[in-house]
Amino acid sequence: MKYTDEKIKNFQAYMKHAKISGCAVTDNDGVNYLSDFNFVGEGDAFLFITLKQAYCFTKQLYAIDVKNKAKYLTLVDSLDCEDIVKLAKKLKLKNCVFDTTCTAYIPGTLFYKNGFKEMPGIISANKEVKTKTEIARISKACSISAKAYDIFRKRLKVGMTELQACALLENIMKELGGEGLAFPTIMAFGPESANPHHTNTDRKLKAEDVVLMDYGCRWGGYCSDITRTFWFGKKPSAEFTKMFDIVKSAYDLGVKLVKPGVAASVPHNSVMELFDNKGKLAKYFIHSLGHSLGTAIHEKPYLNTRSKEVLKAGNVVTVEPGLYFEGKFGIRYENTVLVTEKSSKILTK
Amino acid sequence: MPKLDPAKLSAIRKVIKNNGLDSFILTDYNDIKYLMGPIFQPSEAVVIIHAKGVYITARSLYEAPVAADFPEVKIEGCDKDRELKIVEAAKKLKLKKVGFDARKETYFAGKIYTAAGFVEKQNFLVSVRASKTEEELAKMRAAAKIAYKTYKHMAAWFEPGVTEQQGAAELERFMKQNGASGLSFDTIVAFGANTANPHYMTGKAKLKKNMPILLDFGCIYDGYCSDITRTFWFGDKPAVEFIELFNIVKGAHDEVVENAKYGQTGAAIDLIARDYIEAAGYGKYFTHGTGHGIGMEIHEDAYINSNNTDMPIVDNYCFSVEPGIYLTGKFGIRYEDCFYMTKDGMKQIK
């Protein structure tokens, strides 16, 4: 994988348009997104983007790697946000800003006191429409997760615990080239599947059992997200089959509505309506229909009832309707979907 | 049945009192996990701890399961503007001195809290989370045992022609087969000159006879991390320089283990390793800090580096010791174990 400065260039074009001369980025996801580099944790690096340069404040241990792979970053051997302020003064930049929604309170206060302007959500807004490179990386992560499902189904056995099945699945993704996890894998057996945010346990898989798996990997710094629910065994209960078909039809409706120009609240609201028409099931759908993803697993725009955005070509969203019956079982079906020029494309396949 | 750990809760309440507050807000994913276990996903809940109880506002889907599992907690669903909900809840609870962690809130949230008269604090839970309970230490030992067993397995596993990625897949498979629930961080497997990059991303390089291998890895057991690094020569003809440098790095590691004292700062402990490597003539090739705190997170406060001049390392603080020397284009060596501090000095987590 080659590191690219195209996101910095796009951001600089945005800055020019918005008459911003400098932007301080201090949160790990924002820094990794713009620099295209993989700094491990919060506080490992900060960026100061001007119209001409991308200054990277980081630790010495990253220096060799940054010099070799991300030549477009100008290295500064400091991790002190005061030095960002000093640099802005030295360069005599007039209109410097920071994103209030992702900058922590301490550096934010420092920037504000030094005349930087508050710009809520500028980083997340720039993340919404993905570049071709970003789409290629997300697609790769998605295809690894989808392939992993097929292999996993052949290797899953009665008696495995949720934790063991989870390890099996994660290892298959690694063998297929996945770099890491997009988020902690959910592997829920039997009634545990009814909890949408289940934590994996030692519960063993029975001969006839429901399995819900919600997982994803990373490739080139980008996430994938997929959920499959299936009946393990030969005798699915009539209720499970019926509910599965309803969830699947909700998913199909959701995907059909995901296209450019559609309000992001519409797919969610339509799925709610569908559930309500199928015997008042809407109250068992207890989360939103989906979210966008990129370098972070949850990004804007969200597919929920409060969403005010309109879908655009280049958005990458999840469509994940579910029904949850406490004490019995839960079903969720999810794919990662790219909004294309005219409609959409399933990436997790 | 999950429950709030009374030892952890009372430790937090003590810090609240010592800071002249009547309550404190937790937003950080790991701070909340520390108290409650892995219930909430990141950014989906905010917790107020006060003298009489614990109040939570979270995404609505958590309301029913959390109310059922934690009878001592009051939870209210809220899917938007949770900061405002917290301000309102604090008012209803008649809290007068609510603290928040300025390092862990966004500027956006911090401004709302400051406007509501909440008190800005820094490093609030650092001492609480750094000082591990016996139960936490037991989990960290279990995670470390898996890692050490995995190293033994891997030392005998390598053969010419395997790639770094295949090595990482085998290493991770073995940890999970032996009870790990996940990885502390993405495994580093580096061959040959790749070992000279302390921040190496495992790649496709193939192993040949007579080159160094560096493994930096760890696993999670019951929510707690392990972290070890080993560098060794693959083949029967180790370069003389490799052996020399290995002995210097191992010597720096052992020097810290023998001489670091209860109550020393992270900077003072870092200096023990740094002085040792400098005396051997390789100071400028030791390009990172000596260690970091470790617990639920792979990198926690209790950093063992030159910046940490004000935090004495005391009762059961857990941290890594991982000196290294990196010769670009040739090879790098790092040697790492994790320890906890006691009045009698450092004890290895194993």
Residues A130/A213, Cβ–Cβ less than 8 Å: no
CA B214 remoteness from chain centre: 20
A338: distance to nearest CA of chain B, Å?
25
CA B239 remoteness from chain centre: 34
Residues A253/A271, Cβ–Cβ less than 8 Å: yes
pLDDT at res. A308: 94
Residues A148/A165, Cβ–Cβ less than 8 Å: no
CB contact B177 to A (< 8 Å):
yes
Residues B59/B77, Cβ–Cβ less than 8 Å: yes
pLDDT at res. A61: 87
Give chain B's mean pLDDT. 95
Residues of chain B positioned with their CB less than 8 A from the CB of A171: 169, 172-173, 176
Integer angstrom CA distances of residue A11 from A29, A270, B310: 15, 35, 39
pLDDT digits over A1-21, tens only? 899 999 999 999 999 999 999
CA-wise closest residue to A190 among A153, A230, A134, A221: A230
Cβ contact, residue pair A112, B61, below 8 Å: no
CB contact A182 to B (< 8 Å):
no
Q: Is it the case that residue B2 has pLDDT exceeding 80?
A: no
Size of interface A-B (CB pairs under 8 A): 110
CA angle A45, A48, A52 (to 5 degrees): 135
Splitting chain A (349 residues) into consecutive groups of 10 residues, what average pLDDT does each group show?
Answer: 94 98 97 95 95 96 91 95 97 97 96 97 96 98 98 97 93 90 95 89 95 97 98 97 98 98 98 96 95 96 95 98 96 98 97
**Cross-strand bridge partners of residue A49:** A23, A54
pLDDT at res. A1: 82
**Average pLDDT value for residue range B28-44:** 90
List the single residue in A with minimal CA-CA distance to B59. Answer: A287
pLDDT at res. B43: 87
Residues of chain B positioned with their CB less than 8 A from the CB of A65: 197, 199-200
Helix (H, G, I), strand (E, B) or coil at B343: coil
| Strand boundaries in B148-203, DSSP class E | 182-183, 188-191
CA-wise closest residue to B21 among B96, B86, B102, B90: B96
What b/e readout covers A122-144, taking b as 16+ CB neighbours within 10 angstroms?
bbbebbbebeebbbebbbbbbbb
User: Residue B236 and residue B210: Cα distance in Å, rounded?
Assistant: 7
Q: Is it the case that residue B346 has pLDDT exceeding 60?
A: yes
Cβ contact, residue pair B37, A41, below 8 Å: no
Cβ contact, residue pair B106, A100, below 8 Å: yes
The model carries a pTM of: 0.90
Residue type, B12: I
Residues A258/A267, Cβ–Cβ less than 8 Å: yes
For A177, the token pair is 């080239």
CA-wise closest residue to A297 among A33, A44, A10, A42: A33
User: Residue A190 and residue A33: Cα distance in Å, rounded?
Assistant: 38
B22: left (phi over 0), alpha (psi -120 to 50) or beta: alpha
**Average pLDDT value for residue range B331-344:** 98
pLDDT digits over A238-264, tens only? 999 999 999 999 999 999 999 999 999
Is the reported ipTM for this assembly greater than 0.90? no
**Cross-strand bridge partners of residue B182:** B220
Percent of chain B predicted with pLDDT > 70: 99
pLDDT at res. A144: 98
**Average pLDDT value for residue range B334-339:** 98
Q: Which residues contact A213 (CB under 8 A, 6 or more apart)?
A: A149, A152, A165, A169, A185, A186, A187, A188, A227, A228, A229
CA-wise closest residue to A337 among A307, A303, A308: A303
User: Residue B154 and residue B290: Cα distance in Å, rounded?
Assistant: 25
pLDDT digits over B94-117, tens only? 999 999 999 999 999 999 999 999
Q: Which residues contact A279 (CB under 8 A, 6 or more apart)?
A: none
pLDDT at res. B206: 97
Residues of chain B positioned with their CB less than 8 A from the CB of A173: none
CA-wise closest residue to B323 among B277, B257, B262, B284: B277
Residues of chain A positioned with their CB less than 8 A from the CB of B39: 197, 199
Phi, psi of B304 (to 5 degrees): -100, 75
CB contact B37 to A (< 8 Å):
yes
Of the partner residues B107, B177, B298, the one whose CB lies closest to the CB of residue A108: B107
Residue B204 has a CB neighbour count (10 Å cut-off) of: 9
Q: Is it the case that residue B1 has pLDDT exceeding 80?
A: no
**Average pLDDT value for residue range B251-258:** 98
Integer angstrom CA distances of residue A217 from A154, A198, A348, B295: 20, 18, 11, 24
Helix (H, G, I), strand (E, B) or coil at A316: strand
**Average pLDDT value for residue range B335-341:** 98
pLDDT at res. A196: 83
DSSP-assigned letter for residue B298: S
